[in-house]
């Protein structure tokens, strides 16, 4: 019933005017502020003197680090305790399981140097489900009109599957809610050797692949080599910046349509790509403010330094002017598709795949998200930069010093060497640069995996 109500609203907003979208934002923002001021101890202090009708632009900015440090005071349900949630997300057998029977919980990567835990209530999940089902793309064929929820497809998610990550949690939730989808929707880990991944995909024969742009490019390479023998109708990409070059490469090699979307752990489905190739913001449920280094508004048409997010659908873990780190450009010109939702350009995570030497001299590609997952999950390090020196040498830069740096380096070196061996590489040398500040871009976000110049 909740999903049906939200779906009707999503359909209505898609045919509304920009003024009607703004009215929805205003009403939902007032409700969000009222709930945060009433039920969040953190926001009562952080927004002292504000009220439900206070202009958003006059409210202070908040960061992930600040919120995580005050987690138990931030959330509006006193049942939610950070230590207990960390214990929950440490158990991979509980991925997709409702926490306390009513919340979806996932953890984020430490792209900004600070991992996060995010809790979604039933209302937020209904919003995500409706946006994903109804706005991911304008149907382009009779098949899509007859099957808008992709119930007849074989969907493969290729990504990080070892932890409570948003995409994997969403897949497992869908499988648990609909057991009959167990064979039609499967997850495949990017941490396994490429040969094993290719063999598993060949056996599954997906008609839709959901993955990251760098992983999609790797699949394109394998298809050109003749090892990957699948014929997907569509490849869905997200989580990283998709370049026009990679899009063309994947479409040509796999003979399919690439459909890109924009989301984050903080808000799962922020943007969708219309039939004209434009990315539209779901502005009826999320507010994104492009700002400069001092958090002042950036004019339309100009790229921001960072972006502030306000989540209009999740009252249990309020996000109000949250520094998202992504660089955003908002365009004012209407899209030819007719949608009233604004057109945006996003530059988010942009790490490089590394091509290293295999045991028999063959090139082996290491995906950046696989490398960062290994360092985060196996070594417990989140603020780092990994640079390739040559086809058998990596340089790891940490800001840590002293004994802490020595212990962290030892864990990272062991994790990287074990992963390299699993992928069939020659022995890898890991050079250490501790006590060196991790170089950040203008937004504060690190390019964490950097390939050599050639």
- Rounded distance, CA 192 to CA 196, Å? 7
Q: What is the DSSP string of 69-85?
A: HTHHHHSS-TT--HHHH
* pLDDT of 453 over the 70 cut: no
Do residues 299 and 437 both lie within one domain? no
Do residues 317 and 399 both lie within one domain? no
Do residues 216 and 199 both lie within one domain? yes
- CATH number for the domain including 407? 3.30.300
Do residues 7 and 24 both lie within one domain? yes
In contact, 233 and 142? CB cutoff 8 Å? no
Question: What is the pLDDT of the chain when averaged over all its residues?
Answer: 90
- Beta partners for 31? none
Higher local confidence (pLDDT), 319 or 134: 319
- Rounded distance, CA 277 to CA 356, Å? 34
300 confidence band (pLDDT: 50, 70, 90): very high
Residue 131: burial class (beta carbons within 10 Å; 0-12, 13-18, 19+): buried
Residue 368: burial class (beta carbons within 10 Å; 0-12, 13-18, 19+): buried
- Rounded distance, CA 80 to CA 82, Å? 7
Q: What is the mean pLDDT of residues 105-132?
A: 87
Domain boundary among 294, 315, 347: 347
For 253, half-sphere exposure in the C-beta direction (CA atoms, 13 angstrom radius) is 21
Q: Domain total for the chain?
A: 2
Do residues 313 and 431 both lie within one domain? no
- Rounded distance, CA 163 to CA 106, Å? 8
Do residues 113 and 234 both lie within one domain? yes
Q: What is the DSSP string of 305-366?
A: SEEEEEESS-SSS--SSEE---EEEEE-SPPTT---SPEEEEE------EEEEBTTS-EEEE
H-type helices in 227-269, by residue range? Answer: 244-254
Give pLDDT, residue 74: 98
Q: Which of 200, 208, 149 is nearest to 174 (CA)?
A: 149
Q: Which of 363, 367, 372, 352 is nearest to 452 (CA)?
A: 352
* pLDDT of 138 over the 60 cut: no
Do residues 45 and 172 both lie within one domain? yes
Give pLDDT, residue 149: 53
CA distances, 398 to each of 70, 351, 406, 436 (Å): 26, 17, 10, 6
The rounded radius of gyration (Å) of the Cα atoms in the chain is 22
- Rounded distance, CA 109 to CA 372, Å? 8
- Rounded distance, CA 267 to CA 22, Å? 19
Do residues 388 and 329 both lie within one domain? no
Counting every residue, how long is the chain? Answer: 454
Give pLDDT, residue 441: 47
Do residues 340 and 363 both lie within one domain? no
Q: Range with the lowest mean pLDDT among 39-43, 62-66, 113-117, 200-204?
A: 113-117
Model confidence pLDDT, tens digit, residues 38-84: 999 999 999 999 999 999 999 999 999 999 999 999 999 999 999 99
Distance of CA 53 to the CA centre of its chain: 31
- The torsion angles phi and psi of 266, rounded to 5 degrees, stand at -70, -35
Do residues 307 and 402 both lie within one domain? no
Q: In what order do the strands lie in the sheet with 234-237?
A: 185-189, 155-159, 208-211, 234-237, 257-262, 271-273, 279-281, 343-347, 327-331
What is residue 94's DSSP assignment?
A: G
Q: 95: Cβ–Cβ under 8 A, 6 or more apart, which residues?
A: 163, 164, 168, 169, 172
Domain region containing 254:
2-347
Do residues 337 and 366 both lie within one domain? no
Q: What is the mean pLDDT of residues 28-45?
A: 97
Give pLDDT, residue 141: 44
Domain boundary among 347, 374, 407: 347
* 184: number of Cβ within 10 Å: 19
Domain boundary among 330, 347, 364: 347
Q: What is the mean pLDDT of residues 431-454?
A: 70
Sign of CA dihedral 371, 373, 379, 382: positive
- CATH number for the domain including 254? 3.40.50.12780
Model confidence pLDDT, tens digit, residues 213-242: 999 999 999 999 999 999 999 999 998 888
Do residues 251 and 358 both lie within one domain? no
Q: What is the DSSP string of 185-203?
A: EEEEETTS-HHHHHHHHHH
């Amino acid at each position: 019933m909740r999903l049906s109500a939200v779906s009707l609203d999503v359909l209505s907003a898609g045919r509304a005017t920009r003024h009607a979208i703004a009215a929805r934002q205003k009403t939902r923002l007032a409700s969000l502020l009222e709930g945060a001021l009433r039920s969040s101890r953190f926001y009562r202090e952080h927004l002292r003197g504000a009220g439900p009708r206070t202009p958003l632009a006059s409210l202070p900015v908040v960061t992930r680090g600040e919120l995580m440090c005050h987690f138990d005071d931030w959330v509006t349900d006193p049942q939610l305790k950070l230590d207990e949630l960390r214990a929950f997300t440490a158990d991979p057998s509980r991925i997709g399981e409702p926490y306390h029977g009513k919340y979806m919980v996932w953890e984020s990567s430490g792209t900004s140097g600070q991992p996060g835990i995010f809790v979604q209530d039933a209302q937020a999940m209904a919003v995500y489900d409706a946006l994903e089902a109804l706005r991911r793309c304008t149907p382009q064929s009779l098949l899509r009109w007859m099957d808008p929820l992709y119930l007849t497809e074989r969907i493969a998610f290729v990504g990080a599957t070892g932890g409570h990550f948003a995409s994997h949690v969403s897949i497992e939730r869908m499988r648990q809610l609909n057991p009959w989808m167990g064979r039609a929707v499967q997850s495949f880990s990017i941490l396994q050797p490429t040969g094993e991944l290719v063999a598993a995909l060949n056996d599954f024969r997906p008609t839709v692949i959901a993955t990251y742009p760098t992983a999609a490019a790797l699949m394109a390479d394998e298809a050109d080599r003749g090892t990957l023998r699948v014929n997907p109708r569509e490849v869905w990409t997200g989580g990283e910046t998709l370049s026009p070059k990679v899009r063309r490469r994947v479409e040509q090699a796999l003979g399919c349509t690439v459909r890109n979307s924009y989301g984050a752990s903080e808000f799962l489905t922020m943007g969708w790509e219309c039939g004209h190739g434009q990315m539209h913001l779901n502005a009826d449920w999320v507010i994104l403010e492009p700002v400069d280094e001092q958090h002042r508004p950036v004019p339309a048409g100009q790229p921001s330094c960072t972006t502030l997010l306000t989540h209009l659908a999740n009252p249990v873990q309020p996000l109000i002017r949250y520094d998202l780190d992504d660089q955003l450009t908002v365009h004012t010109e209407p899209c030819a598709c007719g949608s009233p939702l604004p057109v945006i350009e996003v530059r988010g995570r942009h790490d490089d795949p590394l091509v290293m030497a295999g045991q028999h001299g063959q090139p082996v590609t290491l995906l950046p998200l696989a490398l960062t997952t290994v360092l985060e999950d196996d070594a417990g390090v989140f603020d780092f930069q990994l640079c390739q020196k040559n086809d058998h040498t990596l340089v790891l830069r940490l800001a840590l010093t002293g004994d802490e740096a020595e212990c962290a380096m030892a864990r990272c070196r062991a994790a990287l060497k074990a992963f390299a061996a699993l992928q069939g590489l020659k022995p890898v040398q890991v050079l250490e640069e501790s006590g060196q500040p991790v170089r950040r871009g203008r937004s504060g976000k690190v390019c964490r995996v950097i390939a050599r110049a050639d």
